[in-house]
Structure 1
């Protein structure tokens, strides 16, 4: 029997993609819904910046939904290789969306953007930012994500059944240590194991960021992909956020507290990034109203889980 849902995931082998595949497999396993997953098996990966490869993948999968995660996702990598970031993050999204309109025009197109697209808008807003705020990115990564977001929004006026997400910072066990929470946790785990002196070098700790557990985030992607009543179209754009900002220094302090260790924190001038937005937090009331999504995992539990992960993978 043909499965009820055929979900094509780009970036299925990445950190968030792996969590999404696991979540969809759990849905499939409980017998509540027939879900086929494409993009996660051996030989199913393809380069989205290759328009012909994207076309072939969509034609072969005949998806009922596409969750577009593939990207140059680390801001530092996008800064180092801006041309590649634009090729992947903007033109890759275009290749995929055009292929969907050609071969699977009824498929839902779940575009995963970023809160980094708001950029300077955070400076003009007190409190959590809504989806109505202008996109004013300040980084290469944010600019590529903002451009793709606007492009998919425009294509939604031309029959693309789009849902656009703007997730805020998220982490969970398994995230690379190029991201701040995982970087802190890896070093603390090494200190706990006696493999590192009890000293951590850090950059700017006096910035506030809205953090989520990535296991909560993928529930929103799955809901948008599988729920036939979830709205699509130009107005279907959603922040994924907790509405609460954590000071980066407080995250580090919490991880040190969880370790039970005495750790010296040293500021390394080479790690200080210029032009940081001092505070970024999101208003997620719209996604709660339209999709019934709210974060469920307390961030303190996320921090404990990430630290435990690195203790087992040191």
Structure 2
């Protein structure tokens, strides 16, 4: 790794929860970088559909990025499960369109592919500790399969010259996240009870699963490190972004209820149970600590307080 560069960074998926947090961080801490943001959807800044090969090609040719952080995806496992063909089109074909354009028009650019711990899937079963990047990709749901396929594709393209860095973040949350995700879903329900908007009971799925949770602000700090500095690229440049500590979903809910200071009854909702649930998922981020000098810094209790505060502020 050499010094910080003054260069052009392209962020896809910039209008999403994580993309918004990344843009804030880049603008605050890397003022020497010129950031280009691609969102998707009506009213978004620089809307682009990754499935439109010509549009992607023209945009990359015009911007000539020095680094690209690829966040755009069908990111909710439930959305991918409900529309699998769309998820494959966006998460795999869209990623291919983008990577091919970078190789054609910005071959020196670092391509930061943001994958997912969901790609490990069944490798978590029977694991005796946190998984390293060497664990096989054995996805058990549609979302994990699309992310694993794109991850492998980018790895293969790195042998053909794509200057790739692959990141595999584990579960992350923070203020502003959609209630499609478990922590935000719990926090919204707790906040509504605190505000007197609903009866004092909460609907839940499987509370016994354990997940490796991070604060989104720590996660985007990892993304910004590899985007704004000239790190080594190549087939071996794969990094888990993880805390290394599994947290039981039941304990997370209990912590939110305790922060609320309110008596809340917990009720199981069969519709919230996910198929192919992995009991424990945890990652080893030693490689990111050693090579990227990254480690999570935000206490999880603070993360929960901030998510709960966000939902309370929407009164």
Whether TM-score is above 0.5 comes out as: yes
| 1:261 is aligned to 2:262 | yes
Per the alignment, residue 226 of structure 2 pairs with: 224
CA distance in 2, matches of 1:80, 1:155: 29
CA distance in 2, matches of 1:281, 1:218: 19
SS in 2 for 1:256: helix
Moved over 3 A (4+): 40-43
* 1:1-314 alignment, distance < 5 Å: 4-29=6-31, 34-39=32-37, 43-228=45-230, 230-314=231-315
CA distance in 2, matches of 1:25, 1:300: 27
Shift of 1:4: 1.9
Per-residue CA shift, 1:109-145, capped at 9, x if unaligned? 0000000000000013111000000000000000000
CA distance in 2, matches of 1:270, 1:48: 32
CA distance in 2, matches of 1:265, 1:144: 34
CA distance in 1, matches of 2:228, 2:273: 42
CA distance in 1, matches of 2:304, 2:217: 13
SS in 2 for 1:276: coil
Per-residue CA shift, 1:161-205, capped at 9, x if unaligned? 100001000001000001000000001000000001000011110
Residues 118 and 133, structure 1, Cα contact 8 Å, conserved in 2? yes
Shift of 1:226: 1.2
Number of positions where the alignment pairs a residue of Structure 1 with one of Structure 2: 307
CA distance in 1, matches of 2:161, 2:273: 45
What TM-score results when the alignment is normalised by the length of structure 2? 0.95
Shift of 1:240: 0.4
Residues 141 and 276, structure 2, Cα contact 8 Å, conserved in 1? no
SS in 2 for 1:78: helix
What TM-score results when the alignment is normalised by the length of structure 1? 0.96
Structure 2 segments unaligned to the other structure (5+ residues): none
Shift of 1:313: 1.2
Residues 38 and 48, structure 2, Cα contact 8 Å, conserved in 1? no
Residues 240-249 or 219-228, more deviating: 219-228
CA distance in 2, matches of 1:79, 1:201: 21
